[in-house]
Amino acid sequence: MVALRVGVLGLAVCLSACANRPASIKPSFVSHERFIALECPAIQQRLVSARSDLARYSVMQAQKANNDAVGVFLLGVPFSKMSGDHEADVARAKGEIEALETAQIKNRCDTFAAPRIQAAPAPSAPTASAVPTAGAPLAAPTSPVQTQLETLRRLHADGLITQQEYDTKRKKVLDGL
């Protein structure tokens, strides 16, 4: 009976020591103030880079989690605790993405505002129009997914939804792709 309890306790310790899946890793705090002074194209470029980093670290972290699952199942040892994992990198990249997205919102870099800033409005067109004038360069094509994500970012930045609600709703939107 004692051996069973020790075995269960040992298994619980091993499982809790396994590498976390990338989706379960919370973003670390990165202040959007670091990016506020950047122009919209520079923010967008940094955002693309941060998303690329997140994708790369997520793949590496998922591999560590898979290796841990196999290691614990076969030998009772989570290998990532010996060789390290990429949880901190994933958290940092997620935090940087959130900060850059907030900086985009604060700088009004959304796809609707960008054409208004880049091109002078036609004299007869109201400046508050969300539709760019004909011939105005578009920052990026707007899809329903982009619109939904931008709405979620604004709600979160304005404090109208919690981080958990934002993460859940954002995942649902992205899972629908």
- What does the DSSP assignment read for 48-64? HHHHHHHHHHHHHHHHH
Where the chain has pLDDT below 70, the residues are 1-17, 71-82, 110-142
- pTM of the complete model: 0.52
Distance CA 82, CA 94 (A): 25
Closest-CA residue to 62 (of 113, 21, 31, 108) = 21
Give pLDDT, residue 77. Answer: 62
Give pLDDT, residue 150. Answer: 82
Closest-CA residue to 66 (of 16, 23, 21, 11) = 21
Give pLDDT, residue 18. Answer: 79
Give pLDDT, residue 35. Answer: 92
Instruction: Report domain extents, the chain.
Output: 19-109, 141-177
Give pLDDT, residue 91. Answer: 93
**pLDDT tens digits, one per residue of 38-48:** 999 999 999 99
Closest-CA residue to 78 (of 6, 9, 15) = 15
Q: Are the CB atoms for 94 and 61 separated by under 8 Å?
A: no
**pLDDT tens digits, one per residue of 78-113:** 666 667 778 899 999 999 999 999 999 989 886 544
Give pLDDT, residue 26. Answer: 92
Give pLDDT, residue 160. Answer: 77
